[in-house]
Structure 1
Amino acid sequence: MALDQGVLSLNESYEDNYWDILPVERMQVSEEVTLPGQNKNEQFSRAEEKAVKAIQMHGMNINGKEVNPQIDEAYLLFGKARYYDQRFVPALEAFNYILYKYPASDKINQAKIWREKANLRLENDQVAIDKLKKLLKQNDLKDQDLADATSTLAQAYINIEALDSATTQLNIASLFTKNDDERGRYRYIQGQLYNKLGYKDSANFAFERVVKLNRKTPRIYLIAAQLELANNFDHATGDKVLLTETLTKIEENRENRPYLDKIYHQIGNFYARSDQDSLAVEYYNKSLRTNTRDKRLMAINYEILGDYFFDYTEYKIAGAYFDSTMMNMVTDTKPYRIIKRKRDNLDDVIYYEDIAFANDSIIKLTHLSSDQQVTFFEDYIENLKLKIEKEEEQKAIAQETTSREQDFGGIESKNSFNSREGSMQSLRGSSNKPPASSFYFYNPSTVSYGKNEFLKKWGNRELEDDWRWSTKSKSIISESAKNMTDVVDEKNEIFDPEYYISKIPTDQKLIDSIAKERNFAYYQLAVIYKEKFKEYELSENRFQELLAMDPEQKLVLPSKYNLYKIYLLLGKNSQAELAKNEIISNYPDSRYATILKNPESANLKDENSPESIYQVLYNKMQTHDYAEVISQADNYITSFEGDPMVPKFELLKATATGRLQGYEAYANALNFVALNYANTPEGAKAQDIIDNVLPKLASKDFVDNEADKNFKIVYYFTNATAKEIDAFKLALQTETDNVNVYDLSISVDVYNPTTTFVIVHGLKSKEGATGYAQALQEKKKNKIVQDFISVSSSNYRIIQIHKNFDDYLNLQ
Structure 2
Amino acid sequence: MNRTKNIFYFFFALVVISCSSERNTFTNRLYHNTTAKYNAYFYANAKIEELEEGIRLNHREDFSQVLPVFYTVDSAFIEQNEELLTEVKDFASKAIDWHRISKWKDPSYFLIGMADYYNAKFDDASNTFRYLNVNSKNKKIRHQSLIQLMHLFTDLKNFDDATYVIDYLSKESGISRENKFQLYKTLAYYYDSREDVNGKVGSLDMALGFTKDKKEKSRINFILAQLYQREGMDALAYDFYQESLKGNPPYERSFFALLYAQQVAELNKTKDIKRVRSYFDDLYNDSKNKDLKDVILYEKALFELKQNELELAEALLIRAAKEEGSNPIQKGYIYEKLAEISFDVKNDFRAAKFYLDSAMVHFRPTDPPYDFIVARKEILDRYVEHYDIVTKYDSLIQLSGMSREEQEMIAEAFIKKEEERLLNEATEKDKSKSSTGIFDNLLAFTGRGSGESFYFDNAQALQQGSIDFYRNWGNRTLQDNWRRNVQNFQSTATAPNNVQINETDGELTDEETDENPLLSQIPEIETLLAAIPSDPEKINSMKLDLEKAYFEVGKILFFDLKVPDISIEYLESLITKYPNTIKKPEAYYILYLANKESGGNSEIFVQRLNREFPESPFTMAVNNPDGSTGNQAYLESSRNYKEAYELYYNNQYSESRKIIRTTLEAHPLTKNTDKLMLLDIMISGKIDDTNRYKERLENYIQTVENNDLTNMARNMLAALTGENLQTDESDTADLVDELEEETTKEEDAALEETEEEDSPYEVNPNQTHIFVIVLEAEKAKDSKNLLADLESFHSQNFASSRLRTGNMNLSRENVIFIVSPFNNAERGIAYLEKFVNDFQTPSISADDKANSFLISIENFQELNKRKNLDEYRNFYKKAYQ
Distance 1:482 1:33 in 2: 60
CA displacement at 1:530 relative to structure 2: 0.9
Contact kept in structure 2, 1:24 and 1:155, CA below 8 Å = yes
Residue in structure 2 matched with residue 667 of structure 1 by the alignment = none
Give the AA of the match of 1:190: L
User: Is 1:163 aligned with 2:201?
Assistant: no
- Equivalences for 1:91-130 in 2 at 5 Å? 92=129, 96=133, 101=137, 108=139, 112-113=143-144, 115-122=146-153, 124-130=161-167
Contact kept in structure 1, 2:551 and 2:583, CA below 8 Å = yes
Residue in structure 1 matched with residue 188 of structure 2 by the alignment = 154
Task: Summarize the Cα distance change of 1:486–1:557 in structure 2 as closer, same or farther, 3 Å threshold.
Answer: closer
Task: Summarize the Cα distance change of 1:225–1:637 in structure 2 as closer, same or farther, 3 Å threshold.
Answer: farther
Distance 2:729 2:583 in 1: 43
Contact kept in structure 2, 1:264 and 1:287, CA below 8 Å = no
Residue in structure 1 matched with residue 861 of structure 2 by the alignment = none
User: Is 1:131 aligned with 2:171?
Assistant: no
> Aligned to 2:558, which of 530, 552, 555?
530
After the TM superposition, which of the residue ranges 651-660 and 520-529 deviates more from structure 2?
Answer: 651-660
After the TM superposition, which of the residue ranges 517-526 and 46-55 deviates more from structure 2?
Answer: 46-55
Partner SS, residue 554 of structure 2? helix
Distance 1:752 1:512 in 2: 26
TM-score normalized by structure 1? 0.51
CA displacement at 1:496 relative to structure 2: 9.8
- Equivalences for 1:343-382 in 2 at 5 Å? 343-360=381-398, 376=410, 379=413
> Aligned to 1:78, which of 108, 111, 114?
108
After the TM superposition, which of the residue ranges 561-570 and 159-168 deviates more from structure 2?
Answer: 561-570
CA displacement at 1:43 relative to structure 2: 6.4
Give the AA of the match of 1:185: R
Distance 1:488 1:30 in 2: 55
Residue in structure 1 matched with residue 725 of structure 2 by the alignment = 753
CA displacement at 1:40 relative to structure 2: 0.3
Residue in structure 2 matched with residue 615 of structure 1 by the alignment = 675
Contact kept in structure 2, 1:268 and 1:280, CA below 8 Å = yes
- Equivalences for 1:394-433 in 2 at 5 Å? 398-399=478-479, 402-403=480-481
User: Cα deviation per residue 1:337-392 (whole Å; 9 max; x = unaligned)?
Assistant: 553344234323333343334345557x58xxx99777546645767999694287
User: Cα deviation per residue 1:627-677 (whole Å; 9 max; x = unaligned)?
Assistant: x99998984698699xxx82517874456557988xxxxxxxxxxxxxxxx
Partner SS, residue 200 of structure 1? coil
- Equivalences for 1:625-636 in 2 at 5 Å? 635=695
Give the AA of the match of 2:164: V
Residue in structure 1 matched with residue 470 of structure 2 by the alignment = 390
Task: Summarize the Cα distance change of 1:606–1:126 in structure 2 as closer, same or farther, 3 Å threshold.
Answer: closer
Partner SS, residue 153 of structure 1? helix
Contact kept in structure 2, 1:7 and 1:84, CA below 8 Å = no
User: Cα deviation per residue 1:245-271 (whole Å; 9 max; x = unaligned)?
Assistant: 555555555555566676665555555
Contact kept in structure 2, 1:214 and 1:222, CA below 8 Å = no
User: Is 1:10 aligned with 2:41?
Assistant: no
User: Cα deviation per residue 1:699-745 (whole Å; 9 max; x = unaligned)?
Assistant: xxxxxxxxxxxxxxxxxxxx9x99xxxxxxxxxxxxxxxxxxxxxxx
Give the AA of the match of 1:177: T
Contact kept in structure 1, 2:217 and 2:244, CA below 8 Å = no
Distance 1:533 1:21 in 2: 30
Distance 1:308 1:637 in 2: 48
Contact kept in structure 2, 1:620 and 1:629, CA below 8 Å = no
Contact kept in structure 2, 1:151 and 1:169, CA below 8 Å = yes
Distance 2:556 2:105 in 1: 67
Distance 2:561 2:544 in 1: 25
Residue in structure 2 matched with residue 173 of structure 1 by the alignment = 207
Task: Summarize the Cα distance change of 1:238–1:490 in structure 2 as closer, same or farther, 3 Å threshold.
Answer: closer
After the TM superposition, which of the residue ranges 79-88 and 159-168 deviates more from structure 2?
Answer: 79-88
Contact kept in structure 1, 2:181 and 2:211, CA below 8 Å = yes
Task: Summarize the Cα distance change of 1:352–1:629 in structure 2 as closer, same or farther, 3 Å threshold.
Answer: farther
CA displacement at 1:618 relative to structure 2: 3.8
Task: Summarize the Cα distance change of 1:211–1:119 in structure 2 as closer, same or farther, 3 Å threshold.
Answer: closer
Distance 1:236 1:630 in 2: 76
CA displacement at 1:125 relative to structure 2: 1.5
Distance 1:561 1:307 in 2: 30
- Equivalences for 1:725-740 in 2 at 5 Å? none
User: Is 1:540 aligned with 2:568?
Assistant: yes
Partner SS, residue 648 of structure 1? coil
Contact kept in structure 1, 2:317 and 2:334, CA below 8 Å = no
Contact kept in structure 1, 2:591 and 2:602, CA below 8 Å = yes
Contact kept in structure 2, 1:184 and 1:218, CA below 8 Å = no
CA displacement at 1:526 relative to structure 2: 2.2
User: Is 1:569 aligned with 2:626?
Assistant: no
Task: Summarize the Cα distance change of 1:112–1:554 in structure 2 as closer, same or farther, 3 Å threshold.
Answer: closer
Residue in structure 2 matched with residue 216 of structure 1 by the alignment = 248
Give the root-mean-square deviation of aligned CA atoms. Answer: 6.2
- Equivalences for 1:514-525 in 2 at 5 Å? 521-525=549-553
User: Cα deviation per residue 1:534-590 (whole Å; 9 max; x = unaligned)?
Assistant: 2223213334656777956988887666445324423x3xxx3x4426865997686
Distance 2:591 2:729 in 1: 52
Give unpaired runs (5+ residues) of structure 1: 60-70, 103-107, 404-475, 662-718, 723-749, 760-812
Give the AA of the match of 2:703: V
Distance 1:614 1:94 in 2: 62
Contact kept in structure 2, 1:264 and 1:286, CA below 8 Å = yes
Residue in structure 2 matched with residue 671 of structure 1 by the alignment = none
Distance 1:51 1:31 in 2: 30
TM-score normalized by structure 2? 0.48
Distance 2:274 2:489 in 1: 54
Partner SS, residue 527 of structure 1? helix
Give the AA of the match of 2:554: A
Task: Summarize the Cα distance change of 1:589–1:342 in structure 2 as closer, same or farther, 3 Å threshold.
Answer: closer
Distance 1:39 1:83 in 2: 14
Distance 1:582 1:752 in 2: 39
Task: Summarize the Cα distance change of 1:202–1:486 in structure 2 as closer, same or farther, 3 Å threshold.
Answer: closer
Contact kept in structure 1, 2:215 and 2:249, CA below 8 Å = yes
Distance 1:179 1:257 in 2: 30
Higher radius of gyration, 1 or 2:
1
CA displacement at 1:182 relative to structure 2: 0.9
Contact kept in structure 2, 1:396 and 1:480, CA below 8 Å = no
Give the AA of the match of 2:184: T
Distance 2:698 2:257 in 1: 62
Residue in structure 1 matched with residue 11 of structure 2 by the alignment = none
Distance 2:582 2:489 in 1: 54
Partner SS, residue 101 of structure 1? coil
Give the AA of the match of 1:753: L
Contact kept in structure 2, 1:588 and 1:594, CA below 8 Å = no
CA displacement at 1:167 relative to structure 2: 1.0
Residue in structure 2 matched with residue 462 of structure 1 by the alignment = none
Residue in structure 2 matched with residue 200 of structure 1 by the alignment = 232
Contact kept in structure 2, 1:523 and 1:546, CA below 8 Å = yes
Percentage identity across paired residues of the two chains: 13
- Equivalences for 1:265-414 in 2 at 5 Å? 266=299, 269-270=302-303, 274-277=308-311, 279-280=313-314, 283=317, 286-287=320-321, 290=324, 304-305=337-338, 319-322=353-356, 330=365, 336-360=374-398, 376=410, 379=413, 389-390=469-470, 398-399=478-479, 402-403=480-481
Contact kept in structure 2, 1:505 and 1:511, CA below 8 Å = yes
Contact kept in structure 2, 1:640 and 1:646, CA below 8 Å = yes
Give the AA of the match of 1:180: K
After the TM superposition, which of the residue ranges 370-379 and 353-362 deviates more from structure 2?
Answer: 370-379
Distance 1:33 1:79 in 2: 20
CA displacement at 1:205 relative to structure 2: 0.6
CA displacement at 1:181 relative to structure 2: 1.3
- Equivalences for 1:59-78 in 2 at 5 Å? 71=103, 74=104, 77-78=107-108
